[in-house]
Amino acid sequence: MTTRRDFLRILPAAATIPFWGAPRARATQRIILNDASRLSPTPVAKHVTIAKAETNDLIARIRAELKEAAAEHRPAAASVARHSMGGQSLPRDGTAISLDGGPLEMDTAAKTYRTSAANRWWDVIRILDPRGFSPAVMQSNSDFGVGSTFCVNAHGWPVPHGPFGSTVRAIRMVLADGTLVQCSRTENAELFSLAMGGYGLFGIIVDLDVEMTPNVLLEPRFERMIPEKFADAFTHAIDTDTSLAMAYGRMSVSRKTFFDDALMVTYRPVTNPPATLPPVASAGKLTGFQNDIYRAQTGWEVAKGLRWFMESRIGPAITGSHATRNSLMAEPVSNLAQNDLRRTDILHEYFVAPERFGEFVAACRDIIPKSRAEFLNVTLRYVAEDHTPVLTIAPVRRIAAVMSFSQETSPEGEIDMMQLTEALIDRVTAIGGAFYLPYRLHARRDQVEKAYPAAAAFAAAKRRYDPNLLFRNAMWDTYFA
């Protein structure tokens, strides 16, 4: 029998025995990429960043990467900021292409600009602002890519618009076989509709022709009301006041007073604007003390009440301040940054017809306060009807509720978030609404099909345009494959 002493004696010798028969260790570790959720670590075979490329160079490099990925039978996906939260920008064991900046040309007569898909919104605003223009629609933060914004078909505060795609005139896109196509409502219209909100599954977008609007100095108006009155007040303001340029709403979030108070904020141009507008600067809506209070809301109901008091009572009384359209849109996501690695911020977003908003509020009151996750914020937006995208978020005009949760990065936190999401989607789809796709992939497939009735047609078209499924990401695998 081998004793412990024998074992210790032969150990150093054993360590020198070459493992001829054993498989060799991998020479290099895999590259692991993640997204803004920090919950989607995904191994990729190759990660390439294409920075500040001129258009022709960008096309050539994309073609080369796609050719190589196809030859190696691996998937490919493009991304800019990877702020989507469920691996929508991550091709497992594939080629991940990060795009980082490119050219932008304005056509002031046509009020459009052609931008590289690789530009972020702050790049766009920085160029438009000194020439007196502003993006017609974009998200409420400026860190995101313009191409990505088209691929998720994002929306923001500008009214009375539909999602970003409704302000895009044309795109140019490299398909799986390397062909460069121009798509618009009149040229390759089917591809245009599939790629808008199509999460990069039809090709890599190179550039976009997008509408812009004059930059203006705006002043806010604040109105408090019960949430049951919000949808009517919001749509009435948007329908009847053509001077309205931007608008959003908020609701109280502490568990005790959950969704029992609402605030509507509307922006109109100031009556006597200065001859020269101030240059763009982040409005800094959440800086310093305000940011501390926002973060203190996690696990501390008192802070939720204090924040609501500041936002709904003190804010309106003391701000009254003017801000340009560009400054309101230039806010970076870092203003919301949280540093506790045991938690992560997860967004949800639901779209409901204004007539069903009361039922939506009731569903949220039933479900959200019981969850383990900390509910930090809800912002209400307007999204005009839009039938162009196949996966449309607004088959009728809708109110969007953007929700921010702070979730534990533990299995328990993840289970709670999955259950919460499933419950909310069931209630929202039961009233004819939908949920937004760039966040965690926690919906059931039947829920995806109910919220997006064209989901099966979308998947079938994908297989037609990309039969070898070169463009793949976690969302395709989870919801559509």
Closest by alpha carbon to 135, among 383, 335, 329, 279?
A: 329
The residue count for the chain: 481
Minimum Å distance from CB 450 to ligand FAD? Answer: 21
Q: Is 470 in the site for ligand FAD (CB under 6 A)?
A: no
Query: Which of residues 205 and 420 has its CB atom nearest to ligand FAD in the complex?
Result: 205
CA dihedral 192, 168, 392, 448 (to 10 degrees): 80
Query: Which of residues 277 and 476 has its CB atom nearest to ligand FAD in the complex?
Result: 476
Q: Which stretch binds ligand FAD (CB under 6 A): 122-130, 154-162, 293-301, 405-413?
A: 154-162
Q: Is 268 in the site for ligand FAD (CB under 6 A)?
A: no
Minimum Å distance from CB 155 to ligand FAD? Answer: 5
Put residue 44 in one of left, alpha, beta given phi > 0 → left and psi -120 to 50 → alpha: beta
Query: Which of residues 358 and 395 has its CB atom nearest to ligand FAD in the complex?
Result: 395
Indicate which single residue of 39, 45, 65, 79 sits in contact with ligand FAD (rule: CB under 6 A): 79
Indicate which single residue of 331, 438, 472, 474 sits in contact with ligand FAD (rule: CB under 6 A): 438
DSSP string, 20-58: SSSPPPPSSPPEEE--TTS---EEESEEEEEES--HHHH
Q: Which stretch binds ligand FAD (CB under 6 A): 12-20, 107-115, 196-204, 350-358?
A: 196-204
Indicate which single residue of 42, 89, 406, 447 sits in contact with ligand FAD (rule: CB under 6 A): 89
Query: Which of residues 88 and 324 has its CB atom nearest to ligand FAD in the complex?
Result: 88
Give the residues across from 405 on adjacent strands: 346, 375
List the alpha helices (DSSP H) in 199-352. 227-240, 288-296, 301-309, 315-318, 325-329
Q: Is 413 in the site for ligand FAD (CB under 6 A)?
A: no
Q: Per-residue x/- marks for ligand FAD, 367-406, CB under 6 A?
A: ----------------------------------------
**23 vs 20: CA distance, rounded Å:** 8
Do residues 434 and 381 lie in contact, with contact meaning Cβ atoms separated by under 8 Å? Answer: no
Minimum Å distance from CB 57 to ligand FAD? Answer: 15
Helix (H) or strand (E) run with residue 13 in it:
helix 4-15
**37 vs 439: CA distance, rounded Å:** 8
Give the residues across from 205 on adjacent strands: 173
Number of neighbouring beta carbons within 10 Å of residue 218 = 21
Minimum Å distance from CB 275 to ligand FAD? Answer: 32
**278 vs 324: CA distance, rounded Å:** 8
Minimum Å distance from CB 32 to ligand FAD? Answer: 16
Minimum Å distance from CB 221 to ligand FAD? Answer: 21
Minimum Å distance from CB 5 to ligand FAD? Answer: 59
User: Nearest to ligand FAD by Cβ — which residue?
Assistant: 200
Query: Which of residues 184 and 257 has its CB atom nearest to ligand FAD in the complex?
Result: 184
Query: Which of residues 143 and 301 has its CB atom nearest to ligand FAD in the complex?
Result: 143
Q: Which stretch binds ligand FAD (CB under 6 A): 78-86, 252-260, 274-282, 306-314?
A: 78-86
Please name the amino acid found at residue 286: L
Query: Which of residues 204 and 237 has its CB atom nearest to ligand FAD in the complex?
Result: 204
Indicate which single residue of 75, 86, 102, 147 sits in contact with ligand FAD (rule: CB under 6 A): 147
Q: Is 86 in the site for ligand FAD (CB under 6 A)?
A: no
* Token pair listed for 36: 């803004």
Query: Which of residues 204 and 277 has its CB atom nearest to ligand FAD in the complex?
Result: 204
Long-range contacts of 424-427 (CB under 8 A, 24+ apart): 424/348, 424/350, 424/363, 424/364, 424/367, 424/368, 425/350, 425/451, 427/360, 427/363, 427/366, 427/367
- Indicate if the alpha-carbon torsion angle 7, 10, 15, 19 is positive or negative: negative
Angle at 178 between CA 177 and CA 183, to 5 degrees: 100
Q: Which chain residues interact with ligand FAD by CB under 6 A?
A: 36, 77-84, 88-89, 99, 117, 139-141, 144-145, 147-149, 151-152, 154-156, 199-200, 204-205, 333, 336, 347, 438, 473
